[in-house]
Structure 1
Amino acid sequence: MLITEAFAQTANGAAQTSDPTLMSFLPMIGILVIFYFLLIRPQTKRAKEQKEMQNGLQKGDEIVISGGELGRVVSAGDSYITMEIATGVEIIVLKSSVQTLLPKGTLKSVETGKSNRALKNSRQKAGESRQDEPEDNVTETSEVESSSAPSKQDSEKN
Structure 2
Amino acid sequence: MVSTAYAMAANGGAGAQQNPYSGIIMLVIMFAIFYFLLIRPQQKRAKQHRQLIENLKVGDQVTTAGGIHGRISALADDVVTVEIAQGVKVKFSRSSIVAVPGQNSDQ
Q: Give the TM-score taking structure 2 as reference length.
A: 0.75
Greater share of strand: 2
Residue type of the partner of 2:93? L
**Ranges in structure 1 where 5+ consecutive residues have no aligned partner:** 1-16, 105-158
Whose relative contact order is higher, 1 or 2, with alpha carbons under 8 Å and at least 6 apart?
2
Report the CA distance between 1:82 and its aligned residue. Answer: 0.6
Correspondence for 2:86 = 87
**What secondary structure does 2:71 align onto?**
strand
- 1:125 match: none
Write out the 4+ residue segments of structure 1 that deviate beyond 4 Å after TM superposition. Answer: none
1:96 aligns with 2:98: no
1:50-87: CA deviation from partner (whole Å, max 9, x where unpaired): 01101110011000101110000011111101110000
Tell me what 2:46 maps to.
47
Matches within 5 A, 1:1-150: 20-103=19-102
Q: Which has the larger radius of gyration?
A: 1
C-alpha distance in structure 2 between counterparts of 1:78 and 1:55, whole Å: 10
Unaligned stretches of 5+ residues in structure 2: 1-16
| TM-score w.r.t. length of structure 1 | 0.52
Counterpart residue type for residue 70 of structure 2: G
How many pairs align? 88
Tell me the amino acid that sits aligned with residue 80 of structure 1: V
- What is the SS of the residue equivalent to 1:32? helix
Q: Percent identity?
A: 34
